[in-house]
Amino acid sequence: MKKRTKLLLTILLTISGTTFAQIGDYSEKREISGITEKWHTLELPTSVFNGLSDNLSDLRIYGVSTKDTIEAPYLLNVKKEKHVQKEVVFSLINTAIRANTHYFTFEVPTTKTLNEISLNFKNENFDWKVKLEGSQEQSKWFTILEDSRILSIKNEQTDFRFSHLKFPNSKYRYYRISFKSDVAPKLLDAKIYLHETIEAQYNMAEIGDYEISRNKEKKQTIVQIALKQRQPISFLNLDIPNDYDYYRSFQVQYAQDSVPTDKGIKFTYRTLFRGTLNSIEKNEFNFNSVMAKNLRIIIDDHDNQSLNITNMSIKGYKHYLTVRFTDKRDYFLVYGNINAQKPNYDIVHTSKSIPTSLIRVELGPEIQIPKNGKEPIAPLFENKIWLWSVMAIVILVIGGFTLKMMSKKES
């Protein structure tokens, strides 16, 4: 009876072990070197993303020894930009007009630094060049901005408004804006801010190839872009040197899926971002990070001449892992498992105890994890439902043997 019980326990442990992913369930690994402390940080190189799932759920760090294999917990840190915008209370104390020049004077009862003013006019279809000045007592005025352009365009093709004044950090009690206009401006409200930005950290995406074409029927410019590798992207910059004013609606799409056809691979695209290309500001755009390799930009030209795109740059946020290493062993970063679920670690709730200054460890070259030619388990056991069912049956059998043994002892 004891032999049978031991055999059943061995079977139970073997089956339960197959339900938990180990290194062999992944396709790639990289050795981690330079571990000297309990906590370290490591940067994910862009080449890692080629083998990762879209939601990065198959990232694991395993520590291997001669006795066992353990999983090291980590926190994922995406280096996005951070914006802190503090609105400042102010008063509009004066409006005036002289020789078609309109003046608006604001009093800011604070000594805080300011760097942005947002203006909201009731007027539509205007184009004004604004001068911004600062003063401490309204007797001497100092120029902060000269000929800063604000405008509004609204018609059947375009609905575009740009009425923000961004300027170097300034400390004045009074701010005055002025501009020439034949039409009386109707200022609905204004907001004054201190806008602080913590810059994002990016990896530049390498563009393998791109093609610009014109869809005459839809009056659109189409830009097809193929990156050299699949990676997260979250930033686009287009260099458009046209020397005339333009305001074009456009959208950025990424290939979500692909299907091979007789004419080649056909991509299914999903819209990632919509915006307006314009000649007033830099054509730089941030959007939600997405894993992509093939992109498409669609520009609505309507009856206008196509824009001349001379250069473009695409970037994605850098990704870092903060890892806890418990003991000395060989550690590997592994990835490439479409069946892996996102891990749930306790350190998510205890992140305050992590040191602020961490030593960075390095990743070795990517190594393919070999797969056995033969399936070690019958196809029936590839289904987790069957595995758990078998485990339940084994537990019931063991329970039955145990009850029999107890009843014999009592008799």
Residue-wise pLDDT tens digits, 24-45 = 899 999 999 999 999 999 999 9
Tokens of 297: 């930009």
Q: Find out whether 61 and 332 touch, Cβ atoms under 8 Å.
A: yes
Q: What does the pLDDT look like over 74-115, one tens digit per residue?
A: 999 999 999 888 999 999 999 999 999 999 999 998 778 999
Tokens of 307: 């824009």
pLDDT exceeds cutoff 50 at 216: yes
pLDDT exceeds cutoff 80 at 376: no
Instruction: Return the pLDDT at 110.
Output: 76
pLDDT exceeds cutoff 50 at 193: yes
pTM of the model: 0.76
Q: Find out whether 49 and 325 touch, Cβ atoms under 8 Å.
A: no
Q: What does the pLDDT look like over 353-373, one tens digit per residue?
A: 899 899 999 999 999 998 764
In eight-state DSSP terms, residue 8 is H
Rounded to whole angstroms, how far apart are CA atoms 107 and 68? 69
Per-residue confidence band for 61, with pLDDT thresholds at 50, 70 and 90: very high
Please give the span between the terminal C-alpha atoms of the chain, in angstroms, as a whole number: 17
Instruction: Return the pLDDT at 351.
Output: 78
SS3 string of 297-342?
EEEECCCCCCCCCCEEEEEEECEEEEEECCCCCEEEEEECCCCCCC
pLDDT exceeds cutoff 50 at 392: yes
Residue 117: exposure state from Cβ atoms within 10 A (0-12, 13-18, ≥19): buried
Instruction: Return the pLDDT at 242.
Output: 95
Rounded to whole angstroms, how far apart are CA atoms 247 and 277? 6
Pairing of strands 220-239, 311-317: antiparallel
Rounded to whole angstroms, how far apart are CA atoms 388 and 382? 11
- The set of residues, in sequence order, having a beta carbon less than 8 Å from that of 145 and lying 6+ positions away, is 130, 131, 132, 165, 167
Q: What does the pLDDT look like over 279-324, one tens digit per residue?
A: 999 999 999 999 999 999 999 999 999 999 999 999 999 999 999 9
